[in-house]
Amino acid sequence: MALQTIRAQKLKSFFSLIGVLIGVMFLIAVVSIVQGMNVYMEDQFANRLIGLNTFQLRQMPDFTMGNVTREMWMSWRRRPRISYSDADYIKARVTTPATFAMYCADREPLAYNGKMAKDIALVGTEDTYFKIKNYEVVSGRAFSPQEVRAAAPVLVLGDLVAEKLFAGQDPLGKEVLIHGLPYRVIGVVAKQGNLFGLSMDKFAVMPYTAPARRYICPINILDEVDIQTAGPTQMQAAMAEVEALMRARRGLKPAQENNFHLQTAEGALEGWKKISKILFMALPGLVAISLVVGGIVIMNIMLMAVSERTREIGIRKALGARRRDILAQFIVESATLSTVGAALGIAFGIALAFIVRALSPLPAAVAPWSIGVGVGLGILVGMVAGVYPASRASRLDPIDALRAE
């Protein structure tokens, strides 16, 4: 019966659907996208930027989101930097099996045959870095421990750099200039793709000992030591060891804080986690607003329906409909409307999530609970919005109602 009436009043029904539809659509879409971002941040951001089961010994964090005060920043800047000897000290003493890579980087221009590639992340490191970053060298080769020891002027390029400088030519064996210093290209790393729309292929890797190191780090100084372990538990163990070793080496008293930083993917994600928590807290508010608006629209439509269908109500009452029959009829009608709205909202929300997935790198996944919540809210809004018009309808006097035009 409810469906019949709804079908007969398509346009009005459509408008009242829209309110609930938008609310539920946003609920589904936003939940999917935020969860997708969570997955993305954890899988892509952290593991690609830092490496799987990897942590970094640094002077200070380089991924900071959220509250870093000026004082904190200043005190970080006053800390001693990480030196070659720090790295050697740790490598020699950590007992947990781990792979170490000394690391130093800055943005530098690379030149080849008159062409210039600016702002390339020039990384000075060890041969182990390729394993830690999971860089696959698709053409040529990575440099060897011997080349690191010999400070050989060799270079492994990121895909975009190779493309930019050599445009289709084979870069292997060619000579690239860094501030006039000649480097021989010995390999190219497989394409890494984008992260937040930024290319992950704008880099060049050389031995940290090579001559151009003076452009990226002061002598004997490193940005960080990357330490990769076999799994999460090993990583915890290695982190504890490194912390103890560094504290002992720097003569810190128990009351003193660390004057170095151990950066993990987890830690780098802390800022993001705060953001996503805020999004999830703001979400109910947003959805509530659109559902309240939807509810008001439905209530208006139902009030209009009551006054338009006064005569019908009179007929039904004359034929023996009790108040609760009329009440039930109108509540069921508005609940049906909003349920249909919620169903469409779910469909649109899922569609939106898929569009986001298709057009962006976010793996937006629809959370089953959000569908349940969407349906529940839709029905609830319809029933609440239906109660007032329905009670108006049920209280109509049958004689007046029958006389209505």
CA distance 151 to 352: 53
350's tokens:
């899922």
Minimum CB separation from other proteins for residue 389, in Å? 19
Instruction: Tell me the three-class secondary structure of 265-323, residue by residue.
Output: HHHHHHHHHHHHHHHHHHHHHHHHHHHHHHHHHHHHHHHHHHHHCHHHHHHHHHCCCCH
CB 390 within 8 A of CB 334: yes
Best CA proximity match to 171, nearest among 147, 204, 200: 204
Burial pattern 109-146, b for ≥16 Cβ within 10 A else e, equals ebbbeeeebeebbbbbbbbbbbebbebebebbebbeee
User: Could you identify the residue written with the tokens 């003569």?
Assistant: 251
- Does 266 help bind other proteins (rule: CB under 8 A)? no
Burial of 305 (0-12, 13-18, 19+ CB in 10 A): buried
Minimum CB separation from other proteins for residue 303, in Å? 20
Minimum CB separation from other proteins for residue 322, in Å? 4
Minimum CB separation from other proteins for residue 18, in Å? 23
Minimum CB separation from other proteins for residue 296, in Å? 27
CA 294 from chain centre, in angstroms, equals 30
Q: Which is nearer to other proteins, 163 or 312 (CB)?
A: 312
CA distance 211 to 181: 8
Q: Which is nearer to other proteins, 5 or 44 (CB)?
A: 5
Q: Which is nearer to other proteins, 158 or 314 (CB)?
A: 314
Q: Which is nearer to other proteins, 164 or 316 (CB)?
A: 316
**Residue of the chain from 244, 289, 355, 399 that contacts other proteins (CB under 8 A):** 399
Q: Which is nearer to other proteins, 125 or 334 (CB)?
A: 334
- In this chain, which stretch among 78-86, 203-211, 378-386, 397-405 interacts with other proteins, using CB under 8 A? 397-405
Site map (CB under 8 A) of other proteins, residues 60-79, x = contact: --------------------
User: Could you tell me how many residues of this chain bind other proteins (CB under 8 A)?
Assistant: 20
Q: Which is nearer to other proteins, 277 or 324 (CB)?
A: 324
Minimum CB separation from other proteins for residue 288, in Å? 35
- In this chain, which stretch among 143-151, 212-220, 272-280, 396-404 interacts with other proteins, using CB under 8 A? 396-404
Best CA proximity match to 123, nearest among 135, 115, 112: 135
Q: Which is nearer to other proteins, 159 or 333 (CB)?
A: 333
CA distance 77 to 67: 16
Q: Which is nearer to other proteins, 321 or 344 (CB)?
A: 321
Q: Which is nearer to other proteins, 255 or 319 (CB)?
A: 319
C-alpha dihedral over 213, 215, 220, 223, to 10 degrees?
-100
Q: Which is nearer to other proteins, 219 or 319 (CB)?
A: 319
Site for other proteins, residues 309 to 338, rule: CB under 8 A: 311-312, 314-325
Site for other proteins, residues 275 to 314, rule: CB under 8 A: 311-312, 314
- Does 91 help bind other proteins (rule: CB under 8 A)? no
- Does 402 help bind other proteins (rule: CB under 8 A)? yes
Site map (CB under 8 A) of other proteins, residues 4-33, x = contact: xx--x-------------------------
Minimum CB separation from other proteins for residue 343, in Å? 24
Residue ranges in contact with other proteins by CB under 8 A: 4-5, 8, 311-312, 314-325, 398-399, 402
